[in-house]
Chain A
């Protein structure tokens, strides 16, 4: 990552950490329960891909015979996460997932929907396995980390559109922002005029 991208990533992380309440304690909590949560890997992986493959718009993202490879990627991601291996490089990697999503046509709607699915599944397993206070603590840590991941990937997705435009046609971010502002103002005006 170049310096600009690193400082942008750090800025986004700072906002997300403050707003979600994420702290360095969260990876430690995750790590404490790693044995229990690692055992849920196959349940998470199977539910995730069963959901994606049973819904045509998300199933269409994948090519034939790809499921096994994708499952292994999710397995690695989940196990690294619940082991609390959350480093600077790990966050950088999440940012680049946004690029992969653009390339593969994985919209932010799909991302948010599926992250919610994982969180719900994880919550159910926490409540089923642990005493309420521990379940709440563990799920809280998992939720904060995965919410930061969602924010990071979603922002990366959007931000990389700007970067790609600047690189291909030379439009500065400030210019694109100006164009957006103009059109958004126009749309808001049209919407206000059309509202009863």
Chain B
């Protein structure tokens, strides 16, 4: 039931912008809770990598006195990966196209993360 609700948050998020290609919700120890990923993308790997990147981001922000972590953003030739906390126990990971308007995506992703945090 909760998984369905989480999936519907992801569907709404993916529908909010044509630039969002995929998204997933992962526990902080790397377990996938809900995902809308492209075919062929390994959910387990996305889960482990998202949790690892966010942990690393958290620790980096803390060690380098940057305050509480807001988000982790990775830019590659083929687009962006954005990771953000969705409450204390989950990570929201979003894949976006290279020409994506990041400002709008940040807003939508933050809203989705708040919804997820309430559901979890």
Question: Is the contact region of chain B dominated by helix, strand, or loop, or is it mixed?
Answer: helix
A170 within 8 A of B: yes
A178 within 8 A of B: yes
Question: Is the contact region of chain A dominated by helix, strand, or loop, or is it mixed?
Answer: helix
In angstroms, Cα B30 to Cα A170, docked, is 13
The total number of A-B Cβ pairs within 8 Å is 38
* Given A175-B29, A175-B30, A178-B29, A170-B58 contact (CB < 8 Å): yes
Task: Tell me which of A170, A174, A179, A182 contacts B56 (CB under 8 A).
Answer: A170
B33 within 8 A of A: no
B22 within 8 A of A: no
Stretch with Cβ within 8 A of A (4 or more), from B4-12, B47-55, B77-85: B47-55
B48 touches A182 (CB 8 A): yes
How many chain B residues touch A (CB < 8 A): the figure is: 14
A172 within 8 A of B: yes
Q: Which residues of A contact B31 (CB under 8 A)?
A: 178
Task: Tell me which of B48, B55, B58, B59 contacts A178 (CB under 8 A).
Answer: B48
Q: Which B residues lie at the A interface, using CB under 8 A?
A: 28-31, 44-45, 47-48, 51-52, 55-56, 58-59
A-side interface size class: 10 to 19
Q: Which A residues lie at the B interface, using CB under 8 A?
A: 168-172, 174-175, 178-179, 182
In angstroms, Cα B47 to Cα A172, docked, is 13
Q: Which residues of B contact A178 (CB under 8 A)?
A: 29-31, 44, 47-48
